[in-house]
């Protein structure tokens, strides 16, 4: 059965992706494991993850100018003057904006900043989803920067929040609130969802539980093309 998540789909969503083959493989495996298998659900999840991380496991950038801090966190930084101590100071900023909430201690905000494909944030989430996927994310949070672990966490988060239902309805707003806590980037998420949807095959579910072997599949495809050429030449 033809897989829905292919390197071409990843490239369509992020033309500069460094490893679309790896991303496609790990996302397909994780989505299959956690029940993200329909065309609408897969497209919605890929659109959301592309907005969050570009489908690249990465850590949240907390290296901001003071003027930008006022725009991003106006409730915490009412003026540029108030933001200046945190300008280009990721450690202090992380502890300021995330410390003392989401299960974090006062000085743990930076440690448990957003990471991974879904930008998981907060000690409580690291503990919960690490347990669900069988990885100790609290003691080793940078494991979320691995494609495999990060894809599994994204799948577990999606399943735990029951997002298949709203995704089947095409409800970008509900899915965005679950992932973002608000509606930040809603327009971009909608565009990316539609782009992913346009690349999804209109038949079948995600392929098999067997791992996708990119090199073997490529070789098989080249063999098939060569056979077609030889048949065409024989007809000349």
H or E segment to which residue 59 belongs: strand 58-59
What residue ranges do the domains of the chain occupy? 7-60+114-228
Say if CB 153 and CB 116 are below 8 A apart. yes
The owner of tokens 């300021």 is 96
For the chain, state the CA radius of gyration: 20
Extract long-range pairs of 150-153: CB within 8 Å, 24+ residues apart: 150/26, 150/57, 150/115, 150/116, 150/117, 150/118, 151/23, 151/26, 151/27, 151/29, 151/30, 151/31, 151/117, 152/30, 152/33, 152/34, 153/116, 153/117, 153/118, 153/120, 153/129
7-60+114-228 CATH pick, 3.40.50.300, 1.10.530.10, 1.20.1740.10, 3.30.360.10: 1.10.530.10
Model confidence band, residue 201 (pLDDT cutoffs 50, 70, 90): confident
- Give the residue among 129, 106, 110 at the shortest CA–CA distance from 179: 129
pLDDT one-digit tens code per residue, 4-56: 899 999 999 999 999 999 999 999 999 999 999 999 999 999 999 999 999 99
Model confidence band, residue 211 (pLDDT cutoffs 50, 70, 90): very low
pTM of this prediction? 0.83
In sign, the C-alpha dihedral spanning 185, 61, 179, 22 is positive
In sign, the C-alpha dihedral spanning 195, 58, 164, 24 is positive
How many Cα atoms occupy the beta-carbon half-sphere of 110 within 13 Å? Answer: 12
């Amino acid at each position: 059965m033809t897989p829905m998540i292919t390197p071409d789909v990843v490239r369509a969503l992020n033309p500069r992706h460094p490893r679309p083959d790896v991303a496609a493989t790990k996302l397909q495996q994780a989505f299959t494991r956690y029940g993200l298998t329909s065309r609408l659900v897969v497209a919605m999840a890929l659109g959301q993850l592309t907005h969050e991380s570009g489908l690249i496991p990465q850590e949240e950038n907390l290296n901001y100018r003071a003027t930008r801090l006022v725009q991003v966190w106006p409730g915490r930084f009412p003026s540029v003057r108030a933001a200046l101590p945190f300008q280009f100071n990721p450690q202090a900023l992380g502890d300021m904006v995330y410390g003392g909430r989401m299960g974090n201690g006062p000085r743990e905000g930076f440690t448990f900043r957003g990471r991974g494909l879904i930008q998981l944030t907060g000690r409580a989430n690291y503990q919960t989803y690490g347990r669900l996927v069988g990885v100790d994310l609290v003691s080793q949070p940078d494991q979320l920067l691995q494609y495999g672990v990060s894809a599994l966490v994204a799948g577990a988060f999606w399943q735990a929040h029951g997002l298949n239902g709203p995704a089947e309805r095409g409800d970008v707003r509900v899915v965005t609130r679950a992932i973002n806590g608000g509606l930040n980037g809603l327009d971009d998420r909608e565009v990316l969802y539609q782009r992913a949807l346009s690349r999804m095959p209109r038949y079948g579910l995600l392929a098999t539980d067997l791992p996708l072997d990119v090199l073997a599949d490529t070789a098989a495809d080249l063999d098939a093309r060569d056979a077609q050429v030889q048949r065409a030449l024989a007809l000349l």
